[in-house]
Each structure stands twice: as structure tokens, then as C-alpha cells.
Amino acid sequence: MKIYFCCTDFKAEPWLAALRTALPQAEIEVWAPGAGPADYAVVWAPPQAFLDEQPQIKALFNIGAGVDALTQLKLPATTKLVRLDDAGMSVQMAEYVVHALIRHFREFDIYATDVAGGKWSFRKPRLREDFPVGIMGLGVLGQRVARAVQAFEFPVRGWSRAPKELHGVRCYAGEAQFAEFLAETKVLVCLLPLTEETRGIMNRETLSLLQPGGYVINVARGAHLVEEDLIPLIDSGHLAGAALDVFRQEPLPAGHPFWRHPKITMTPHTAARTLRDESVAQIASKIARLARGESIAGIVDPSKGY
């Protein structure tokens, strides 16, 4: 069995060592142009040349939850595209969202500003029932975030492409129920996969449907947000602010207005990082199952983009 590692932005050696330990029977190498055929590949944003040279690849294992970079390429017709189910990312995502939510709800950002200015102040406590949290995307990550938010007794709404039922979550589905979902939401959390249908889904029209004083938390993809629509909605008072981890262009350009806006909190695409050991264990298990002719979870439907 031969496996190629073809991942931009990842140091190869630690991954190769971990994969070789988990799959001692396999020959595992970094792909280089002109290399011979392999059975499987571990990838992150591979070039089209890799896919063109390896049409016999049985499965591509993407070391991340988002597969939008791969779905934009021309994949071999018989190759399965497999995403990580979780691999330690869902709890990180839950931490990030809950931190951003509570920081906003408890107004800790205002307290920090006051303390930095030498001001001893108090804020009137706010009611959780006045801050329903709407989660767009109810996959593995979205469901984990929903459970974390529920633990702090916020009302939780959920929206997904297909109908779902989650305990304690008021669920909405499809385009027909999208406006109703937004109207029931004060804090909007985006955990959607990036597809042509979801690109730009957070824009002036949709964000205007949020309850007055709404707040946006984007931990999915930067292209979900029409960036030029956000600041006018904040400056008008309809939105109270935003916590953003992802952007259309990364790193964010130095002159971008998000840097200077006092009501936008930013982090550098670090809400949930790929954990190597957990990822390798999952990939190795799935390769073993495929080699035995068994089914696996996480196979991407190219027609849906996730």
C-alpha cells in the first residue's frame, strides 16, 4: 500500500512519522511531480497537477473539516473525498463560540475598556432568554457547539439544509424557513460548509433580519460573509458587533477596515486547529476499513460540497 502526503502549510516530517507509526505496513512519502502511482493520499489544498497525475487514487483524506478547496478542483471520477469527522476540532470550536458569546453577553469587552481607562463601572445584568443563539450548520461541529451553548442556558435555534431534530434546539431547514430562523436569532453563529449556495449567505439583507442588537460569530469560512455589508449594519446600531475568525483574504490585509473597528473582535483563523495525533488515528482507521472493503463515515458528496 502506498500513500502520498500532499499538504500545503503543514510541516511534513511530523505527519509522516505519525502516519508511518499508525500504518507500518504502508509506504508513505511526500508527493513530488512525476512520482509513481499511490493508493491513498493525505491532502490539504493539493495542486490540480497532483490529481491529474494520480487518477487511480482510491481516496483523498483531507486533514481538516472544510473541503471547499478540494471541491473546486477536478477530482478523478472514482476517487473518494473523505473529510475528518471531528479529530478534536469540535470541542475547540465549542470553546471559541462560547467564549465569544459570553464575552459579548456579559459585556466583558466594555469592562476591559473601562478598566484600561481607570474606570470602575457596573453594567446591568442581561437576560439569557433575550439572547437566542442561532447556529447555521448542524453537522458534527454545529451539534457540539449547540450542546455547549445549551449548558449555559441560552435558547438555541438551528438551521440546516435538510431537516434535523436536536434535543432542546428549535430547528429550521431549507430556504423556506431561513428568514424565520434569522428573525428568531440574536447571536448568529456560522458553521456552514462553503458551497455556491452558502457563499455570501451573511449579507445586508439576511443580517438585517436578525433581532435588533444582533451579534455575528463566524468560525466557518470568510466567504460566507459579505464583508462590506457588516460595518454599516454595526454603525447603524442594528448589529452590536461581531467576532470573526475567518476572512475572505488571509492574512487580513493591513488596510482592511476590520482592523480598526472597535466592535469587531478578530482572531487569525485559529478557532479549531487540526490535531495531528487524533487526525492520523482517524485516517489510519478509515484506510484500514477501506482496505477491508468496509464502509466509512465522512465521504463527501461532490454535488452538495460536504
Q: Cβ distance 264 to 258 under 8 Å?
A: yes
Closest-CA residue to 247 (of 227, 270, 222, 268): 222
Q: What does residue 243 show for φ and ψ, rounded to 5 degrees?
A: -120, 115
Q: What does residue 276 show for φ and ψ, rounded to 5 degrees?
A: -60, -50
Q: State the DSSP string of 79-144.
A: -EEEE-S-TTHHHHHHHHHHHHHHHHHTTHHHHHHHHHTT---------GGG--EEEE--SHHHHH
Q: Is 261 considered catalytic here?
A: no
Q: Cβ distance 220 to 192 under 8 Å?
A: yes
Q: How far, CA to CA in Å, does 88 sit from each of 142, 190, 231, 285?
A: 14, 19, 33, 16
Closest-CA residue to 51 (of 27, 24, 69): 69
Catalytic residue among 83, 144, 221, 224: 221
Rounded-to-integer distance, Cα 174 and Cα 192, Å:
13
User: 36: exposed, middle or buried (C-beta count within 10 Å: 0-12, 13-18, 19+)?
Assistant: exposed
Q: What does residue 29 show for φ and ψ, rounded to 5 degrees?
A: -140, 160
Catalytic residue among 161, 238, 261, 269: 269
**Any idea which residue has 447603524 for its cell?**
236
Q: Is 269 considered catalytic here?
A: yes
Q: List active site positions.
A: 221, 269
